[in-house]
């Protein structure tokens, strides 16, 4: 309210109104990662990030992951996969790609989009040990871009906590409790939400700014 309209409202008052109107938050569903760990990884990096989720400037630390969505056509269940890269400084989504296949091109295209849009960026690049990220060709992409690779330990999702947190925010606010009956509707939801998240959704840990406001405030400082 204060960010968009200049109206200050105390948190406790909002809570009282929500209780009076029986407004509740979305139930948090159990997380089912779609990560497929490589049976024979070509490259494994150390966990250089080491849960240090603070960054002093944009493009210092990037996190990435892939998550799964479902849509339904009659009795058939279909899937879409979202690959994204998140900047730890401003929590903006640097790039993303949506695909019907969870494969190497999905992750490689996501990285290529981020690198092309930020040619001077040389961040620490952190992921889990999914099969795409342990591919030698992906490591070579990072080296060519002057980035340092970091990977979570096996079975330690918290090592990539902020990225997992973004998946949770997206799904609680736009996906859980809904049934999508077309690929286009699901695709458009994901696209529109990421735009909303980057440009309109304020975050307290960013000083009640949106990710892009936080990003641009650093650039003009």
Give me the pLDDT at residue 152, please.
96
Q: Pick the closest to residue 140 from 182, 104, 169, 178 (CA basis).
A: 104
Q: What is the pLDDT of residues 88-137, one digit of tens each?
A: 999 999 999 999 999 999 999 999 999 999 999 999 999 999 999 999 99
Nearest-5° Cα angle at 174, 171 to 180? 100
pLDDT of residue 154: 87
Q: Answer whether 95's CB lies under 8 Å from 102's CB.
A: no
**What pLDDT score was predicted for residue 156?**
87
CB 26 within 8 A of CB 176: yes
Q: Is the dihedral of CA 141, 143, 146, 156 positive or negative?
A: positive
pLDDT for position 23: 59
**Which residue numbers in the chain have pLDDT < 50?**
none
- The Cα 160–Cα 50 span in angstroms is 9
Residue 122 neighbours by CB distance under 10 Å: 14
Q: How far apart are CA 127 and CA 82, in angstroms?
A: 14
Rounded to whole angstroms, how far apart are CA atoms 156 and 33? 12
Q: Are 128 and 151 in contact (CB under 8 A)?
A: yes
Residue 88, C-beta contacts closer than 8 angstroms, at least 6 positions apart? 53, 54, 55, 60, 61, 62, 63, 162
Q: Which domains does the chain have, with CATH numbers?
A: 42-220 (3.30.420.10)
At 7, is the secondary structure helix, strand, or coil? Answer: coil
Pair 97, 113: CB distance under 8 Å: yes
Distances (CA, A) of 47 to 61, 141, 196: 13, 19, 31
Helices 161-174 + 183-199 axis angle, to 10: 120
User: What is the reported pLDDT for 171?
Assistant: 98
> In this structure, what token pair is assigned to residue 36?
């497929």
Residue 155: its pLDDT value, please? Answer: 82
CB 57 within 8 A of CB 68: no
Residue 110, CA distances (Å) to 20, 29, 50, 106, 121 in order: 44, 26, 23, 6, 15
**What is residue 221's predicted lDDT score, i.e. its pLDDT?**
79
């Amino acid at each position: 309210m204060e960010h968009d309209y200049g109206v200050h409202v105390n948190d406790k008052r909002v809570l009282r109104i929500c209780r009076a109107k029986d407004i509740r938050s979305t139930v948090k569903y159990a997380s089912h990662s779609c990560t497929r760990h490589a049976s024979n990884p070509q490259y494994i990096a150390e966990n250089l990030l080491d849960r240090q989720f603070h960054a002093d400037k944009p493009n210092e630390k990037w996190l990435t992951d892939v998550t799964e969505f479902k849509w339904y056509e009659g009795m058939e269940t279909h899937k879409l996969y979202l690959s994204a890269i998140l900047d730890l400084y401003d929590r903006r989504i640097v790039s993303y790609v949506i695909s019907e296949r969870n494969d190497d091109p999905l992750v490689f295209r996501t990285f290529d989009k981020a690198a092309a849009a930020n040619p001077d960026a040389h961040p620490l690049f952190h992921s889990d040990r999914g099969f795409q990220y342990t591919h030698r060709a992906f490591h070579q992409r990072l080296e060519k871009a002057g980035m340092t690779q970091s990977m979570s330990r096996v079975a330690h999702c918290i090592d990539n906590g902020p990225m997992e947190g973004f998946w949770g925010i997206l799904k609680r606010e736009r996906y859980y409790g809904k049934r999508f009956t077309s690929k286009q509707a699901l695709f458009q939801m994901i696209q529109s939400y990421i735009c909303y998240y980057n440009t309109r959704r304020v975050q307290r840990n960013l000083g009640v700014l949106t990710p892009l406001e936080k990003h641009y405030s650093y650039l003009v400082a």
